[in-house]
Structure 1
Amino acid sequence: MINKIFFASLFLGLFSAGSSLSCRWMDHKFKQHNEETLNLLDAMADSSTKTTEVKDAVAFPNHLYHQASNSSAEEKLAFTAQILEEVAALFEEDHSSASWEESTVRNLLNIVNKQAEELRSCIGSHKKKNTKLRMYFKRLSHHVLKQMGHSAEAWELIRKETKDHLMRAEQLTSSLCSAH
């Protein structure tokens, strides 16, 4: 009987330690990785490309960020992880017209995918994805990239939009860092 209690306690202790360890990443690495990603996006800026604003059909989803900011910590992490996954999917599209170094894009994708993976590991259960956020990124892909022929100008718009998302995601998650 005492052995069962001991092993149950040991298991529970290890499980709890494992859970908190996986979320310690949020305190120590998320901001650092986000800054690296923002720096890579800045390095990818194409000053020779004339820029316009993203069309109204793809207006920045401020309302979704507002909703997420009033959500639980787990929902904030899930929302942020989805943003990162959607950004990664965008940058996996044909970017041959952009003047970016392939190694820079690979580094960006590696960091963004790592962030999404680590955030997902902090979430207790598999959260349902936000359909409105998914549709927003589909519109970015269709109305900006595809309709503009994956041009350098289209990619510059996507780069700027991505930077805005990463800055907003950091704001959204900054309140969680001390909570873990």
Structure 2
Amino acid sequence: MTQFSLHNEKALDFLDMMITNTTKDAEIEHNVAFPNRLYRQTSKATAEDKLAFTVQVLEEVAALFEEDHSSASWEENTVENFLNIVNKQAEELHSCIGSHSYTTQKGQQLSFRTEMYFKRLLNEILKKNGYSAEAWEVIRNITQAHLRQCEFLISPGTAH
């Protein structure tokens, strides 16, 4: 898992480079709360379910950053490097669990809730705000929190 930590640090570094210089001081209002409950539930799950959850979060993050981010004025190769690392993390973790899908009904519920959460981010923050630089800054900050939570979730002690 140390490989995950190294890749995660690189991904966080790229996110730090992607700070959006917004001209408005107004923060985007949204009602999409960070899914702390999902992380708490997952922390009690099997090692395989923790990895499957982390893979799903990484894939959902990558899908978000595939959306139109032209108004964010990010360097395109920084975004590409970030996406490459996130996708690489997802692939490597997925190889640790093979064809594992959530083994329990609880795991399947986590998967569904995670998917719905990321759809709300897309609809309530990005689409609703016209993919603005301000909306992307909110998404960037939320993504940083997810990467940190994922690292904590599968930190050493979670063997594969």
Do these two structures clear the TM 0.5 threshold for a shared fold by scoring above it?
yes
Whether the 8 Å contact between 1:98 and 1:152 is mirrored in structure 2 is yes
Q: 1:72 and 1:53, CA in 2 relative to 1: closer, same or farther beyond 3 A?
A: farther
RMSD between aligned residues: 1.6
Deviations 1:21-48 (A, max 9, x none): xxxxx2x310000000001101111244
- Bigger radius of gyration: 1
Q: 1:86 and 1:154, CA in 2 relative to 1: closer, same or farther beyond 3 A?
A: same
* Matched position secondary structure for 1:174: coil
- Establish whether residue 67 from structure 1 lines up as the match of residue 41 from structure 2: yes
Aligned-partner residue type, residue 108 of structure 1: F
**TM-aligned CA deviation for residue 51 of structure 1:** 5.9
CA distance in 1, matches of 2:97, 2:29: 32
Whether the 8 Å contact between 2:48 and 2:100 is mirrored in structure 1 is no
Answer 1 or 2: higher relative contact order, Cα 8 Å, separation at least 6: 2
Structure 1: 4+ residue segments shifted above 4 A: none
- Establish whether residue 115 from structure 1 lines up as the match of residue 89 from structure 2: yes
Aligned-partner residue type, residue 7 of structure 2: H
* Matched position secondary structure for 2:70: coil
Q: 2:27 aligns with which of 24, 30, 52?
A: 52
Q: Which residue in the other structure is 2:72 paired with? A: 98
Whether the 8 Å contact between 2:22 and 2:134 is mirrored in structure 1 is no
Query: For structure 2, which runs of at least 5 residues remain unmatched after alignment?
Result: 103-107
CA distance in 2, matches of 1:152, 1:55: 15
Identity of aligned residues (%): 60
Q: 1:150 and 1:48, CA in 2 relative to 1: closer, same or farther beyond 3 A?
A: closer
**TM-aligned CA deviation for residue 142 of structure 1:** 0.4
Query: For structure 1, which runs of at least 5 residues remain unmatched after alignment?
Result: 1-25
**TM-aligned CA deviation for residue 132 of structure 1:** 0.3
Whether the 8 Å contact between 1:51 and 1:156 is mirrored in structure 2 is no
CA distance in 1, matches of 2:149, 2:29: 17
CA distance in 2, matches of 1:143, 1:135: 12
Aligned-partner residue type, residue 58 of structure 2: L
Of 108-117 and 44-53, more deviation after overlay is shown by 44-53
Task: Please give the TM-score of this superposition, normalised by the length of structure 2.
Answer: 0.89
